[in-house]
Structure 1
């Protein structure tokens, strides 16, 4: 099973000016780039990086010590001494190259695995972000569709009835004292409702049940969830008190032709 760890890319400078730096990846519990690994992978990858780093450090130390000794030896003072020292230093440098290149070849498969895992995760993350943006754009377009309407009940001006245009209402809509002139988007409707709540002391938001069900089918979410996530408001969320009172006092038959509500808390529905 994979779990999250972190990896950091390290470069180790070669002891020789003409050699490129060596690259290794350390696996750790913090810092660096998150990476999903199994416990066995984490241990093997970190063990390989640690061994590689140790070989590089020891080879560089050995080269520095040996070269310093050769260049400091009294033989350099003899005729042709500088040439002999240069040959020995070149041989030491060749030995350093052999050791570090062998270590690099041994570590290369692990380095390739780590880099492939990082690239794979980055690709998956980009796909996820693109999908998230696609979903956000989809829900933004839904929130901007002008399909909603409302009316303030004439007989009870503290109640506003909310409905989806072109959806047959659950109960006949009551006579209104004020209503939306044109279809509104979800965002526009929310702003209108907040204005009504402030200016006209609206106490009850009566969402038409048929409209709620239709919206849930179109949005692919319960209306209250859609409203919270993509409108940024809880006005479509039924209040617990409303639900309790509705259970105790169920609405009368639809055949009466009169709109009823069971509570006076903002966000109520019938």
Structure 2
């Protein structure tokens, strides 16, 4: 009985998510797109996340350099540190880590905001007044996440190179011009493009999960915290799953 009840709840949740996605998709191209709210969400999601993204990117590049340099020195390959940092950040480390950082910051924020609006019945008031809460609250946030997370990832990748140069300058003599030349000489379009496409999926799932959990939170103050927590966990798991699938697709069609 417990297994049947669990499967029933999973199927119901999956059906609710599909229905929520269809409502989102129908409202993307509907007349009256909320451009002002969309721009505001891009500012909130993108600009206000720059600080943590820059700090994370710099530390990633710095630590990755310091950790890998002794091993590469043992094989006389320390000159490949810039290439290793740039390719590692572009292909995998940058998109995934920044995606998880954004899941913790953005998904929880969206879920808590919409959950609070749901608890205080603001969403119900919008529906009663004839407004379209899906178009105003959901579409703008999901599209803003889908656009801004890739941009934040590009910022982190760029700052990571600066962090890598800082780490390199502490342990070996290499000027900035040589370092950045080595960083980009070995990188090819196939290293950047699949990972960049992946970040759009990360951004979409962060926005979708955050909106869904907040929009469907229970009518209670404690449900806001529960919605924010479950949004972070669900978005993080989805990011890891999407990354695993995209890596297999990339290996099959790009690197072979």
- TM-score w.r.t. the length of structure 1 is 0.24
- TM-score w.r.t. the length of structure 2 is 0.26
Which structure's relative contact order is higher, taking Cα pairs within 8 Å and 6+ residues apart? 2
Q: Which has the higher helix share?
A: 2
Q: Which has the larger radius of gyration?
A: 1
